[in-house]
Structure 1
Amino acid sequence: MSVEAMTPPFLQLRGVAFSYRGHAVLKGLSLDVGRSEIVALLGGNGAGKSTLLRLALGLLSPASGEIFLEGRAISGLTRREIARRLAYVPQAHVAPFPYEARDVVMLGRLAENGLFRAPGASDHACVAAAFERLGVGHLARRRYTELSGGERQMVLIARALAQGAPVLVLDEPAAALDFGRQIELLRQLQQLAADGYGVLMTTHHPDHALASATRVVLLKDGVVLRQGRPAETLTPESIFDLYGVRVAASPLPGLFVAAGGLQRPT
């Protein structure tokens, strides 16, 4: 047996359930995120996607089930230990002060340095490398509060890369990006996966999952409706089950179009 086969996935959820004010949000959900994987979560509003991310990040505790990071129960890890394994990119973020973008990215180094150690040469090198990798070095000296929504999103992704964690957790990472930046982001995620990162992301765009993910998980009413390879799992039938709209596969690879306009089926 190979070493990789013996190594546990970066992130494991086993039979995880969670309720909010008596309402069951997740019901015995299980999934893995391994090395070189991009796992895309799809589902309508209220399906449990954001709750799943918060559980994976240790921000919420499951009512039942277990969550593991690199084979260790997340309940036994400190916040700093979790941050060394998971880097989070929120959908939106507002900085309270007009920091330069490079200072926002430097915050990613707190998981390594703690609060009381000044950044050193290696930290500045990590920050510069993150900007360079994403092709947004021109943003480094600009005020974060003066950036567009899409530019802020790229800075937050750079912060996650500077953090050095092997798993990136992204909540709707392409939501604020224009079309060109969306395509570039998906390419970057694929390259990160090729370099050994694990990626867990939510998206409302099946096309993005088809274009970039290695596996998709379809959530509905707190349970996994289907999961598997994108081309096999994201079918017109499964999208109808998930969103209640009929689509047809486009002649262009990896693209869905509305069937018969945008009216909901009866």
Structure 2
Amino acid sequence: MLEASSLSFRYSAKGPWIFRDVSVRAAAGQVLAVLGPNARGKTTMLKCLAGITRPVAGSVETSGGVGYVPQSHSVVFSFSVLDIVLMGRARTVKIYSTPGAADREAAREALHRVGVSHLADRDYTGLSGGERQLVLIARALVSDCATVVLDEPAAALDLRNQAQVLTVLRALADEGMAVVMTTHHPDHALHVAEQSMLMVSADDQRIGPTRELLTGALLSEMYGVPIVTADIETPSATRRLTVPDFGRGMS
């Protein structure tokens, strides 16, 4: 659904490379998680994949549209949830036209798809963080995209809302979409992503199956804090978790 070839980016002709010569593929029916320390270029990488930022070199090819969900979103005026989702129809509505009945039906269907159809008439500014994230995912879906790209979709959410957002993303992939997400939580990647990319440095991006790639040794190297992994029995399945040793990391 989305494939980047030899992607490179820096902010100026003589500036340092943010990342260089990255080739990665997001396949239909799969989740690709992008991880790395702060200021390592994850958001910039995501915007290049979504077509928002032009790379210095390389190319991105897509099959079908790409929907983008930012890490944070605010509005100046008060809009209903339905109106926020309708904004995702902008490229399908003719110039000087307004959304019609079919657009509104598509927006309601997108809200239903992510499980928040009951919020359609609510004021967007009055929603919780988790509810806003689900509404923004619906806004991306209503654009009829085949790939959805999300920048830290579960950041600053409580555990229940993290679980809800991750469940929706996994369901979208199971329905055949390609999902690309950045995250600071290796556990999120281990829970929903078949493939992961670790942005270790500008010239060191490691890509592979999530369970093989996200080892304690590699995560410790990348984040600079000792990390171990453990398989834990939960009521639903055996899950692999990462455990950072914050005490040793701060010494």
Q: Same fold (TM over 0.5)?
A: yes
**Separation in structure 2 between the aligned mates of residue 121 and residue 262 of structure 1, nearest angstrom:** 57
Rounded to whole Å, the distance in 2 between the matches of 1:258 and 1:62 is: 34
Equivalences for residues 73-222 of structure 1 within 5 A: 85-222=65-202
Moved more, 25-34 or 146-155: 146-155
Deviates more, 1:43-52 or 1:207-216: 43-52
Give the deviation of 1:250 after TM superposition: 2.6
1:29 aligns with 2:17: no
Q: Distance in 1 between matches of 2:243 and 2:169?
A: 24
Q: Output the CA distance in 1 between the equivalents of 2:158 and 2:224.
A: 27
Q: For residues 145 and 91 of structure 2, what CA distance do their matches in structure 1 show?
A: 9
Q: Is the partner of 2:247 in helix, strand or coil?
A: coil
Contact 2:66 2:145 survives alignment (8 Å): yes
- 1:88-117: per-residue Cα shift (whole Å, max 9, x none)? 000101112101111000111112224433
Aligned length: 243
**Once the 2 structures are TM-superposed, how far is the Cα of residue 217 of structure 1 from its aligned partner?**
0.4
> How many angstroms does 1:85 deviate by?
0.6
- The alignment partner of 1:193 has SS state of helix
Distance 1:265 1:96, change over 3 A: closer
User: What is the rounded CA distance, in whole Å, between the counterparts of 2:38 and 2:162 in structure 1?
Assistant: 21
Instruction: Give the unaligned 5+ runs of structure 1.
Output: 1-9, 71-83
Match of 1:48 in 2: 41
Task: Give 1:251 shift.
Answer: 3.7
Report which stretch shifted further, 217-226 or 48-57.
217-226
Alpha-carbon spacing, 1:147–1:28, altered in 2? closer, same or farther (3 Å): same
The yes-or-no answer on 1:13 pairing with 2:4 is yes
Runs of 5+ unmatched residues, structure 2: 233-238
Q: 1:114 to 1:219 in 2, by over 3 A?
A: farther
Q: Secondary structure at the match of 1:242?
A: helix
Give the deviation of 1:61 after TM superposition.
1.9
In the TM superposition, what whole-angstrom CA distance separates every residue of 1:186-235 from its partner, at most 9, and x where no partner exists? 12111111111001110000000000001000002223432111111100
Work out the percentage of aligned pairs sharing the same amino acid: 38
| Equivalent-residue separation in structure 2 for 1:159 and 1:262 (angstroms) | 41
Q: Letter of the aligned partner of 2:61 in structure 1?
A: F
State the TM-score, normalizing by the size of structure 2: 0.91
Q: What SS class does the counterpart of residue 255 from structure 1 fall into?
A: strand
Let me know the Cα RMSD of the aligned residues: 1.7
Aligned residue for 1:254, secondary structure, equals: strand
**Cross-structure match for 1:248:** 228
Give the Cα separation in 1 of the matches to 2:42 and 2:207: 14
Distance in 1, matches of 2:82 and 2:156, equals 20
**Structure 1 CA distance for aligned equivalents of residues 39 and 28 of structure 2:** 29
Give the secondary structure class of the aligned counterpart of 2:248: coil
CA 246–63 in structure 1, closer or farther in 2 if over 3 Å, else same: same
**Of 33-42 and 130-139, the range deviating more from structure 2:** 130-139
TM-score by length of 1: 0.86
Tell me, yes or no, if the aligned pair for 1:13 and 1:67 is still in contact at 8 Å: yes
Q: Deviation above 6 Å: which 4+ runs of structure 1? A: none
The residue type equivalent to 2:191 in the other structure is: A
Q: Secondary structure at the match of 2:189?
A: helix
1:129-171, Cα deviation, whole Å (9 max, x unpaired): 1211222123211111222222221211111111110000100
